[in-house]
């Protein structure tokens, strides 16, 4: 009996997805530890629990494709293939970071590696992706743009403007809403009118679907269909990936914010992938053990290298700015 497309993708890419998701988890757990030790400047927003959406979408991207991200974007960047050492360098304010240590956690940018940038402004990356897609189509480039954003951004005016322009221009862009249930400290349902976020795309004639954002194979399949449509000239698509963020809005919020959600035990997307691989006949225990060991060593080495780097020189303070 032939494998379904989802089962086939799992068989081909499952171990690779598992490795990337574990790398993201370990990277962000390390950031949490650094924050507690006072080694990070400013706030840091973690995406622990949301790894499957980033990995599933980025799995189908090609070299020329670009993503735009959010203030909670480490998982997007690592899933896109960015180097953990240079990510650590940027977040720690070191000269070897992707932006020379001047962007930090919320503004990592590496266009040459397919990541135009994270963005501290809610919804700020959505129009950038539409512009990238329009430019690719106008210049005849075989490229697609992906806009990652959260449920809170779906209530911003720029979200609707971007959907409108993307539909008018039939731009090769895929909108990916990571709905983690909370708009900063407020339940999403309390501030979001209408039937659902995914239904908003229908007004503009944009194909849309909701996806279990914690099941990487389901995300990969949905994203693959959207990317294929965009590459074929079919215009934009919209995905709402329902997931959970395990941490607060940002690290350290417990010092001033009252508890705003009940304790919960969400499904672990990594464990769900392990179970899927187990069902497909893989020796998951051995695979996970080897991946854990290798990725822990990689993350530790990347952090040590980043910490050994110098801070950017003072004379670079006003370089790379428009005015």
pLDDT value for 2: 54
CB-CB neighbours of 206 under 10 Å: 18
What pLDDT sits at residue 3? 61
Residue 99 in contact with residue 120, Cβ under 8 Å? no
Q: Which two tokens stand for residue 311?
A: 């801070």
Q: Summarize pLDDT for 227-249 with one digit per residue, the tens.
A: 999 999 999 999 999 999 888 78
| Mean pLDDT for all residues in the chain | 92
CATH tag, 5-310 = 3.40.50.970
Phi-psi region of 38 (alpha: psi -120 to 50; beta: other; left: phi over 0): left
Please write the tens of the pLDDT for every residue from 141-171.
999 999 999 999 999 999 999 999 999 999 9
Taking the C-alpha atoms of residue 14 and residue 59, their distance in angstroms, rounded to an integer, is 11
- 135: pLDDT strictly greater than 70: yes
> What does the alpha-carbon distance between residue 101 and residue 90 come to, in Å, rounded to a whole number?
4
Q: Comparing 215 with 8, which gets the higher pLDDT?
A: 215
Q: Is the pLDDT of residue 5 over 80?
A: no
Full DSSP string of 254-287: GGTPPP-S----PPPHHHHHHHHHHHTT--HHHH
- Give pLDDT, residue 246: 85
What's the number of CA atoms in the CB half-sphere (13 Å) around residue 8?
6
Per-residue confidence at 317, pLDDT binned at 50, 70, 90? confident
How much is the pLDDT for 190?
A: 82
Give the model's pLDDT for residue 228: 98
Q: How far apart are the first and last CA of the chain?
A: 63
What pLDDT, in 10s, does the model give residues 73-101?
Answer: 999 999 999 999 999 999 999 999 999 99
Task: Kindly report, residue by residue over 31-72, the tens digit of the pLDDT.
Answer: 999 999 999 878 899 999 999 999 999 999 999 999 999 999
Mean per-residue pLDDT, 102-116 = 94
322 pLDDT exceeds 90? no
pLDDT tens-digit series, residues 158-204: 999 999 999 999 999 999 999 998 888 888 888 888 889 999 999 99
DSSP state of 38: T
* Residue 122 banded pLDDT, cuts 50, 70, 90: very high
pLDDT confidence of residue 121: 92
pLDDT at 79: 98
Q: What is the pLDDT of residues 249-300, one digit of tens each?
A: 888 877 676 777 777 777 899 999 999 999 988 888 889 999 999 999 999 9
Burial of 135 (0-12, 13-18, 19+ CB in 10 A): middle
Output DSSP code: residue 110: B
DSSP label of 63: T
Look at the chain and count its residues. Answer: 323
* Mean pLDDT calculated for residue range 99-123: 93
Contact, 126 vs 68, CB < 8 A?
yes
Q: How many CB atoms lie within 10 A of CB 212?
A: 18
Whether 1 has a pLDDT exceeding 70, the answer reads no
State the pLDDT at residue 188: 85
Query: Are 60 and 237 within 8 A, CB to CB?
Result: no
């Amino acid at each position: 009996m032939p494998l379904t497309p989802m089962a086939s993708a799992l068989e081909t890419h499952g171990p690779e997805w598992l490795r990337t998701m574990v790398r993201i988890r370990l990277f962000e757990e390390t950031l949490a530890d650094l924050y507690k030790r006072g080694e990070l400047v400013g706030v840091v927003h973690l995406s622990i629990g949301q790894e499957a959406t980033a990995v599933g979408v980025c799995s189908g991207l090609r070299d020329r494709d670009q993503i735009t991200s959010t203030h909670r974007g480490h998982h997007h960047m690592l899933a896109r293939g960015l180097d953990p050492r240079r990510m650590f360098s940027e977040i720690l304010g070191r000269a070897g970071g992707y932006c020379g240590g001047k962007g930090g956690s919320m503004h990592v940018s590496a266009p040459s590696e397919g990541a135009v940038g994270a963005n501290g402004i809610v919804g700020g990356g959505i129009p950038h992706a539409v512009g990238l897609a329009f430019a690719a189509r106008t210049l005849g480039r075989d490229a697609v743009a992906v806009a990652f954003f959260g449920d809170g951004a779906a209530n911003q005016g720029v979200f609707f403007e971007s959907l409108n322009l993307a539909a008018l221009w039939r731009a090769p862009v895929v909108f990916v809403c990571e709905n983690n249930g909370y708009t900063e400290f407020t339940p999403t349902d309390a501030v979001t009118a209408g039937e659902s976020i995914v239904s908003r795309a229908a007004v503009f004639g944009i194909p849309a679907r909701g996806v279990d954002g914690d099941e990487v194979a389901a995300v990969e399949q949905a994203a693959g269909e959207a990317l294929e449509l965009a590459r074929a000239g079919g215009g934009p698509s919209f995905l709402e990936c329902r997931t959970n963020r395990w941490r607060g809005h940002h690290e350290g919020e417990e010092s001033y914010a009252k508890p705003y959600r009940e304790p919960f035990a969400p499904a672990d997307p990594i464990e769900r992938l392990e179970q899927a691989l187990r069902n497909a006949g893989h020796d998951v225990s051995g695979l996970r053990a080897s991946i854990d060991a290798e990725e822990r060593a990689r993350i530790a080495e990347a952090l040590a290298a980043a910490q050994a780097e110098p801070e950017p020189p003072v004379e670079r303070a006003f370089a790379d700015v428009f005015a």
